[in-house]
Amino acid sequence: MTLNTWIPVLALMTSLIASLVIFALPEKGYRLRTAVNLGAALLKLGLVVVMVWGVFRGVGYGVSFTMVPGVTFVLKADAFSMMFAGLSAVLWLLTTIYAVGYLEDSPNRSRFFGFFSLCVASTMGIALAGNLFTFFLFYEMLTLSTYPLVVHRGTEKALKAGRTYVIYTLTGGAVLLLAIAWLHGVVGDLPFREGGHFTGSDPDIHRSLTLIFILLVAGLGVKAAIFPLHGWLPQAMVAPAPVSALLHAVAVVKAGAFGIVRVVHDVYGVDASSALGLLEPLAWLAAFTIIYASVRALWQVDLKRRLAFSTVSQVSYIILGVSIFGPVAAVGGLVHLLHQGIMKITLFFCAGNYAETLGIHRIDEMDGAGRRMPGTSVAFTIGAFGMIGAPPLAGFITKWTMGSGALAVNMDWVVVVLVASSLLNAAYFLPVLYRLWFRKPAAHWPHERQWGRLETSAWLFWPPLLTAVMTVMVGVLASLPFSPLSWAELIVLREYSP
Amino acid sequence: MTLWLMAGLLFTPLAWAVLTLLMNFTWGRLVTWVGIVVQVLVSLGLWLAVSRDGGFYYGLGGWEAPLGIELRVDGLAVTFVLLTAVVASACGWHAGVYIDADKPWHRYFWPLFWFLWSGLNAVWLGGDLFNLYVGLELISLSAVGLVALGGKAGALRASIRYLLAALLGSLAYLLGVALIYGQFGTLSIAGVVFWLEEHPVPAGSSLALALMVTGLALKTALFPLHRWLPPAHGIAKSPVSALLSALVVKASFYIAARLWLELGEPLGNLAAAQLVGLLGSAAIVWGSWLACRQLELKQVVAYSSVAQIGYLFLLFPLTYSVSESVTLQAQQGITLQVISHALAKAAMFLAAGNLILSTGSSRVDALKGVSRFLPFSLFSFGLAGVSLMSLPPSGGFAAKWLLLQASLGSGQWWWVLVLLVGGLLSAAYVFRIYRASFLESSETDHFYHPPRSLEIIPMILALLSLGLGLVSAEVLSVMALPFEEEGSP
C-alpha cells in the first residue's frame, strides 16, 4: 500500500466525504457549506493534477479488491481516465462557484449540494473505473444522485421530467447490466486495457460478442443520448441551470460517451471491433444523430432546449470519432470530450445568467441583451462560435482533426456530415447572436434583478468568462504539451500501439 | 465454551421472555435492552468461533442423534444468527422508544419479542426436522401475537388470518415430516441423506418433500399463497413489521432451502423446480405491480416484501441438476439476497414508521414536502430502496449479479429477464415514494419531529445493507469454511 494506490481513492473520497458533510450541515450553515464545497473541489483538482503528471510519466495508480466472488473492484488511472477526471474536476470547481451564486436564498440548498457532490464523486468513479463492473457501479450511482437534482424545484413539471429521466436511464442501466454480466459469463473478468482483449479471439464467441456489443452500446447510448434514446435530455432541462450545465452537458452524457469509447478501445479493441464489423454501423448511427439533433435544434424556441438538442448532436461527434477506424479521427473524437464540455458549459452558464438576471428563457426575449449584459454575451458568443467550428476555437480543432482523419481512411462521407452539421450549427446559433447584439431591446425585461456593480452577481459573472477564455486557449494553444489535443494524441498513441 | 454459547443462544432468550412476562412495559424494556447486549455478544462469539475453526454438529445436552436435539452449526447458520442479532436488536431498541408505554397490553411486546428471537435461533441451528418444527411454531405464534398488538379491529382480523395460514402451513409441513419418519426412520436431515446414499429412493418420498415445501411456502408467502402477508405486515406496529418482513418469513424459507439443497437432487424433479421458480417470478411481477398501486405507505413496503420473497425461490431451479459452480453461485446469491433484504426491509419499515409519525398520516400522498423537513428518515428509506432496486453498491446488487451469473451459466436465460424486469418494477414503486416526497406543496408544512434515536436506527440498517455489496466476498467466505463432521450420524 503505497501512496500511489491511495491517490485515486482519495480523489474519489474528496467529493464523497464533502457530500456527507454537506448533508449533515444545517440548512443555514451557508459559509461553512461553501467552504467545504470549494475546499473539496480544489483538493480534488490538486490530486487530479498530480495524477495527470504521473500518468504522463508512466506511473501506475490503482487499487483493487474482490468485491463479489468472481469479480474485482478496480480503480485505476490511465491516460483516458485522466481526461474525464480532469474535465470533471475543473468544471466542478467552476460550477460550484456558479451554483453558490445561482441558488442564493433558495430553499433546500443543503440537499442540492449534497447530491451535487455525490454526482461528482460518481463521475470520478466512472473515470477511474478499471473494469466494466466497477464502471457500472458508478454509472448507476450517477443516475441515482442526479434524480434529486432534476426534480429539485419540486414542481409537477420537474417531477415529470425526473420520471422520464429515471425510466430512460434505469432501463438503459438494466440493459447494460445484462451485457456486462453476459460478457463476464463468456470471457470472465476483463480489466480495461489499451488495445482491448479480443484481437484474434476464438471465432466461436464472435456471435455472442456482436450481440453483447449491441447491448452495451444500447445501454450506454441512453446516457450518451444517441438517437433514438435521447428523449430524456431536452426534458431534463427543467433542472436548475448549474445542473443542466455540469450534469446534462458534461457529466451524464459524457459518462455514456466515455463508456462507449472504453468499450471500443479498452474492452474490444479497435482492431477487433472493426474486424467484427461493429464500427461502421455505429458511425452511421452517430452521424445520423448529429444531423437529426441539429435539425431539431432549429425549431426550439426555449434557449435551454435548443442547447440541449445541440448537446445531443455534439456528443455524437465523440462516438463518430472513435468509430472511424483510424488514429487521427480518434484523436478528434476524444478531444471533443473536453472541448464540447468547456464550450457547452459556457453556453449553459450564460443561459442561466440571462434567466436569473433578466428572466429570459425564450430566444425571442433575448433582443438586445448584449448591451445589458456584455460580459455574459461575449462569453456566449465565443461558445457559440466554438460550437460552429470557427477557427481558432476549440470546435474547429475537433472538426479539423476528425475531418482529416476520415479522409485519411477514405471515409469521405464523414466530411459531408461535418460540413452539414457546421452549417446547421450556424443556422441555429447565428440568429441568437443577431438578436443579442443587433436587435433593439424590449421596453422591459421579463423579470429583472439588480446585483450591484457588475451586470450580474459576481458568482455568476466570472465562471462563464473563464470557460470562454478556456475555449479560446485550448484552440490557440492546441499544440502545446498537456493541451487537450496533445493528451488525446497520447491516448490514441497508447491505444493504437499498445 | 461451545455449550455456553449454545445455551446462550437457545435458552437465555426464553429466560428473558419469562422475566419480561412478569414485568410492566418500562421494566421489560430495561431487561430487554440488557438482554440485547448479552445476545449480541453471544451471537458474535459463536460467529467468531465458527469463522476461526469451521462448523460442526452438536448434540445438545450430550444426547446424540437420532434421539436428542441435534444442532448443525455451520457458516450459514452462524451468519443468520448474527443477522438476527443485528436486526432484532435494532427493532428492540426502536420499539422501546416507538411503542407507547401507556397502553396496558403493550407490555406483552417484550415476551413475544424474546420468544420470537429464541425460535429464530432454533431454526437457524436446528439439524432435525422435528426441532425445526418446534422452532417454526414458536416463531409463528409469537409473530401472530405481535401483529395482534396493533390493537385495532383490523389488526385482530389480520392476525387471525395470519394464524390460519401459519397453522395450515405447519400442518402440511408436519404431515411431510411424519411421512419422512415413516420411510427413513429418522428425523435428522443428515440421517436421511446418509440413508439415501445406501438405499434406493423409496416410493412416495417425493410427496413428503412436496408437502413440506408447500407448507413452508405458505408460511413464506410465496405467490399465490401470499394474501395473508400484506394485511399482517402492513397493519402491525412498525418495529413488528420490520421483524416479520426481515426475519420471520426468512425462517420458513431457510428450512425449505435446506431441505431442497440436501434432498432436492434425489427426491425432487425438474418440473417441480421450474414450477417453484415460475411462482417466484410471478411473485416478483405481481407483488411489485400491487406495490405500485397501494395508497398506504406501509402497504407499499409490505407488497414489496411479497416481490422480494419471489427472488428467493429462484434458488430451486438454479440448483437443480446444474454444475457445481452454478449451484454455488445461486446459493451465494440467495444468501446475499436474504441478508440484504432483511437489513433493507427492516430499515424501510422503521423509516416508514418515522415518516408516518411525522406526517400523522399513513398515506403516500401525505409525504408532500417531507424531503425538506425530515430528510434523515427519508434518506434512510431511500438508501434501503437502493438495495431493493438491486442497484450498486448494495447487497441486493451483489445478489442479483450472482443470480444473473448462475442463470447465464446454467443456460436458464428466462430468469435473467425476470431479474432485470424485477429490478425495474421495484424502481417503479420506490421512485413513487421519492416522487411524493419531493413534491412541494403550497399548504402549510408542520411536521412532527420523531426523537433522534428513532431516526438513527433505520439509517444504520440501511447503511449496512448498502455496504454489504462491497464486502460480500468476505461475508460469503464464512460459509465456505470446512465443516467438521464430528458427531454426525
CB A441 within 8 A of CB A372: yes
3-state secondary structure of A412: coil
Q: What is the mean pLDDT of residues B42-60?
A: 84
Residue B193 lies in a domain: no
In angstroms, the CA B30 to CA B36 distance is: 10
In angstroms, the CA A211 to CA A207 distance is: 6
With both helix axes pointing from N to C terminus, report the angle between B414-438 and A156-187 in degrees, rounded to the nearest 10. 150
Beta-carbon contacts of A344 under 8 Å, excluding residues fewer than 6 positions away, are A245, A249, A250, A307, A310, A311, A314, A383, A387
**What percentage of residues in chain A have a pLDDT greater than 90?**
35
Chosen from A68, A108, A112 to mutate, greatest number of chain B CBs within 10 A: A68
Residue B329 lies in a domain: yes
Identify the band that residue B488 occupies on the pLDDT scale cut at 50, 70 and 90.
very low
In this predicted structure, the answer to whether residue A287 has a pLDDT above a threshold of 90 is yes
Residue B445 lies in a domain: yes
Q: Which residue has the higher pLDDT, B429 or B486?
A: B429
What DSSP assignment string belongs to B301-333? HHHHHHHHHHHHTTHHHHHSS--HHHHHHHHHH
In angstroms, the CA A73 to CA A70 distance is: 10
- Cis (ω within 30 of 0) for the bond into A240? no
Identify the band that residue B273 occupies on the pLDDT scale cut at 50, 70 and 90.
very high
Residue B73 lies in a domain: no
Chain B positions in Cβ-Cβ contact with residue A66 (cut-off 8 Å): 473
**Amino acid at site B127:** G
If you measure CA to CA, which chain B residue comes closest to A112?
A: B372
Chain A positions in Cβ-Cβ contact with residue B420 (cut-off 8 Å): 174-175, 177-178
In this predicted structure, the answer to whether residue B408 has a pLDDT above a threshold of 80 is yes
Q: What is the mean pLDDT of residues A106-120?
A: 86
Chain B positions in Cβ-Cβ contact with residue A148 (cut-off 8 Å): 434, 438
Q: Which residue has the higher pLDDT, B176 or B62?
A: B176
What DSSP assignment string belongs to B211-265? HHHHHHHHHHT-TTS-TTHHHHHHHS-HHHHHHIIIIIHHHHHHHHHHHHHHHHH
**Pairing state of beta strands B55-60 and B483-484?**
parallel
Interface subset of A 405-464, CB within 8 angstroms of B: none
Residue B85 lies in a domain: no
At A66, give phi and psi (nearest 5°): -75, 125
Q: What is the mean pLDDT of residues B206-211?
A: 91
C-alpha distances (whole Å) from A126 to each of A123, A341, A359, B214 are: 5, 16, 36, 46
Residue with cell 443520448: A225
Identify the band that residue A417 occupies on the pLDDT scale cut at 50, 70 and 90.
very high
A240 lies within 8 A of chain B by CB? no
The answer to whether A159 contacts B438, with C-beta atoms less than 8 Å apart, is yes
The answer to whether A159 contacts B435, with C-beta atoms less than 8 Å apart, is yes
A77 lies within 8 A of chain B by CB? no
What integer pLDDT is reported at residue B485 of this predicted model? 52
Please tell me the distance in Å from B359's CA to the nearest CA on chain A.
Answer: 18
Chosen from B438, B455, B459, B474 to mutate, greatest number of chain A CBs within 10 A: B438
In angstroms, the CA B341 to CA B336 distance is: 8
In angstroms, the CA A260 to CA A220 distance is: 7
In angstroms, the CA B387 to CA B389 distance is: 5
Domains: count for chain B: 1
Residue B469 lies in a domain: yes
Of A65, A111, A137, nearest to B392 by CB-CB distance is: A137
- Cis (ω within 30 of 0) for the bond into A228? yes
Please tell me the distance in Å from A108's CA to the nearest CA on chain B.
Answer: 6
If you measure CA to CA, which chain B residue comes closest to A27?
A: B372
Of B389, B398, B435, nearest to A163 by CB-CB distance is: B435
Residue B381's domain comprises 269-480
Grid cell in block for residue B167: 397453522
In angstroms, the CA A60 to CA A68 distance is: 24
Sign of CA dihedral A61, A65, A68, A70: positive
HEC readout, A134-178: HHHHHHHHHHHHHHHHHCCCCCHHHHHHHHHHHHHHHHHHHHHHH
Q: Which residue has the higher pLDDT, B152 or A327?
A: A327
In angstroms, the CA A151 to CA A240 distance is: 9
C-alpha distances (whole Å) from B183 to each of B178, B195, B204 are: 9, 10, 9
Which of B165, B430, B394, B417 is CA-nearest to residue B285? B417
Helical (H) or strand (E) element with B136: helix B129-148
Identify the band that residue B84 occupies on the pLDDT scale cut at 50, 70 and 90.
very high
Sheet holding B69-73, edge to edge: B69-73, B55-60, B483-484
In this predicted structure, the answer to whether residue B64 has a pLDDT above a threshold of 70 is no
**Amino acid at site A302:** D
In angstroms, the CA B351 to CA B456 distance is: 9
What integer pLDDT is reported at residue B487 of this predicted model? 41
**Pairing state of beta strands B69-73 and A61-68?**
unpaired
In this predicted structure, the answer to whether residue B489 has a pLDDT above a threshold of 50 is no
Identify the band that residue B443 occupies on the pLDDT scale cut at 50, 70 and 90.
low
Beta-carbon contacts of B151 under 8 Å, excluding residues fewer than 6 positions away, are B103, B105
What integer pLDDT is reported at residue A274 of this predicted model? 87
CB A386 within 8 A of CB A471: yes
Residue B444 lies in a domain: yes
Chain B positions in Cβ-Cβ contact with residue A75 (cut-off 8 Å): none
Residue B262 lies in a domain: no
CB A248 within 8 A of CB A308: yes
In angstroms, the CA B212 to CA B210 distance is: 6
Identify the band that residue B445 occupies on the pLDDT scale cut at 50, 70 and 90.
low
pLDDT tens digits for range B297-338: 999 999 999 999 999 999 999 998 888 889 989 999 999 999
Identify the band that residue B462 occupies on the pLDDT scale cut at 50, 70 and 90.
very high
Q: Which residue has the higher pLDDT, B440 or A488?
A: A488
In angstroms, the CA A193 to CA A364 distance is: 50
Grid cell in block for residue A393: 476555437
Residue with cell 487537450: A484
Q: Which residue has the higher pLDDT, A23 or B133?
A: B133
In angstroms, the CA B295 to CA B408 distance is: 37
**What percentage of residues in chain A have a pLDDT greater than 70?**
99
In angstroms, the CA A66 to CA A72 distance is: 4
Distance of alpha carbon B242 from the chain centroid: 10
The region that residue A293 occupies, defined by phi over 0 for left and psi between -120 and 50 for alpha, beta otherwise, is alpha
Q: What is the mean pLDDT of residues B209-225?
A: 92
**What percentage of residues in chain B have a pLDDT greater than 90?**
51
pLDDT tens digits for range A438-474: 888 887 888 877 777 778 888 888 899 999 999 898 8
At A44, give phi and psi (nearest 5°): -65, -45
Interface subset of A 263-282, CB within 8 angstroms of B: none
What integer pLDDT is reported at residue A306 of this predicted model? 92
**What percentage of residues in chain B have a pLDDT greater than 70?**
94
What integer pLDDT is reported at residue B200 of this predicted model? 84
Identify the band that residue A282 occupies on the pLDDT scale cut at 50, 70 and 90.
very high
Q: Which residue has the higher pLDDT, B446 or A114?
A: A114
CB A276 within 8 A of CB A268: yes
In this predicted structure, the answer to whether residue B269 has a pLDDT above a threshold of 90 is no
**End-to-end Cα, chain A, rounded Å:** 27
In angstroms, the CA B166 to CA B228 distance is: 9
Which of B190, B80, B255 is CA-nearest to residue B485? B190
Q: What is the mean pLDDT of residues A363-369?
A: 87
Specify the DSSP class assigned to residue A73. Answer: E
Identify the band that residue B369 occupies on the pLDDT scale cut at 50, 70 and 90.
confident
pLDDT tens digits for range B234-263: 888 899 999 999 999 999 999 999 999 888
Beta-carbon contacts of A144 under 8 Å, excluding residues fewer than 6 positions away, are B386, B391
Q: What is the mean pLDDT of residues B424-453?
A: 81
Identify the burial level of B52 via C-beta atoms within 10 angstroms of its C-beta, where 0-12 means exposed, 13-18 middle and 19 or more buried. exposed
Averaged confidence pLDDT in chain B: 88
pLDDT tens digits for range B146-156: 999 877 788 88
A97 lies within 8 A of chain B by CB? no
Instruction: Report the half-sphere exposure of A476 (CA within 13 A, side-chain side).
Output: 6
> Can you point out the beta strands (E) in B74-227?
none
Identify the band that residue B112 occupies on the pLDDT scale cut at 50, 70 and 90.
very high
In angstroms, the CA A371 to CA B206 distance is: 87
pLDDT tens digits for range A39-73: 998 999 999 999 988 888 888 888 888 888 888 89
What integer pLDDT is reported at residue B66 of this predicted model? 54
Please tell me the distance in Å from A33's CA to the nearest CA on chain B.
Answer: 17
In angstroms, the CA B25 to CA B457 distance is: 21
The region that residue B295 occupies, defined by phi over 0 for left and psi between -120 and 50 for alpha, beta otherwise, is alpha
A-B contacts at Cβ under 8 angstroms: 92
Residue with cell 450541515: A25
Beta-carbon contacts of A464 under 8 Å, excluding residues fewer than 6 positions away, are A98, A346, A349, A350, A353, A375, A376, A379, A380, A383
In angstroms, the CA A280 to CA A298 distance is: 28
